[in-house]
Amino acid sequence: MRIALGVEYDGSAFRGWQSQAIGLTVQDTLEAALSAIAAHPLRVQASGRTDTGVHATAQVVHFDTSAMRPDTAWVRGCNALLPPSVAVRWATPVADDFNARFSAHSRSYRYCLYNHPVRPALSATLAGWFHRPLDEVRMQAAATALIGTHDFSAFRSSECQARSPVRTLSGLTLMRQGDWIMFDLTANAFLHHMVRNIIGALVEVGCSRRDPPWVGELLAGQDRRLGAPTFSASGLYLAGVGYDACWHLPASQQGLRLPAIGPGVAPG
């Protein structure tokens, strides 16, 4: 039987999603809890990896098991064994050819940025921070150059293992409320550090170090060395994974699950 899960986690204390020999990853933690419920070792595959310090409100995984358990066991049973920073949101049987990674047609991320002269305390590991005033109109103007199918080499980590730097960014919008700026990005897939490098470039424009056309020039130049520093992982959330209706995932999987931080939430 193949089971799909929706998983939420605070990535602050983890070395990213992917299993490592040293442990301390979300995958290792989740697999230990699931294996205990299944009473046999099992492995999970996720819709995508997240780096050290990156969070998720809507990670999707699948695994195969011979154990017959009600859906509630995979949710409540696992959550009883997981640390407070990781929670299974839902579980459902899926077709044997469903794959959390390869069946997904899009991924969406939200970046939460606290724009204030004084750094936050309570949300120090849950939000990015920039001390100088940022102009969201300038940033949105710059962002338009990134929409579409492009070679995103200029926004790609030198450690990226993707075979191609070409990605289709279908959405990049900004919303400001008070001292909070939310960046919402959707693409068919993302390169390593792609979102954080885009945020870094837009911040350069927002604080007037660069003019909006610079982002388009950076994209065209395909040279990561000319870009802005990679922005903090703290504010980044995997907030949605898109699948076709034929997979019959729960209704709660449709649309974005936005982080419980941002406009209207005191940063400390």
**Catalytic (active-site) positions:** 51
- Spatial distance between the Cα atoms of 205 and 140, rounded to a whole number of angstroms: 10
- Spatial distance between the Cα atoms of 200 and 151, rounded to a whole number of angstroms: 18
> Which residues, in sequence order, are CB contacts of 223 under 8 Å at separation 6+?
153, 154
- What 8-state DSSP symbol labels residue 247? G
With CA atoms as reference, report the closest residue to 16 among 55, 45, 47: 55
Chain centre to alpha carbon of residue 231: 14
For residue 96, give the 3-state DSSP assignment.
coil
With CA atoms as reference, report the closest residue to 180 among 231, 128, 227: 128
- Spatial distance between the Cα atoms of 41 and 222, rounded to a whole number of angstroms: 44
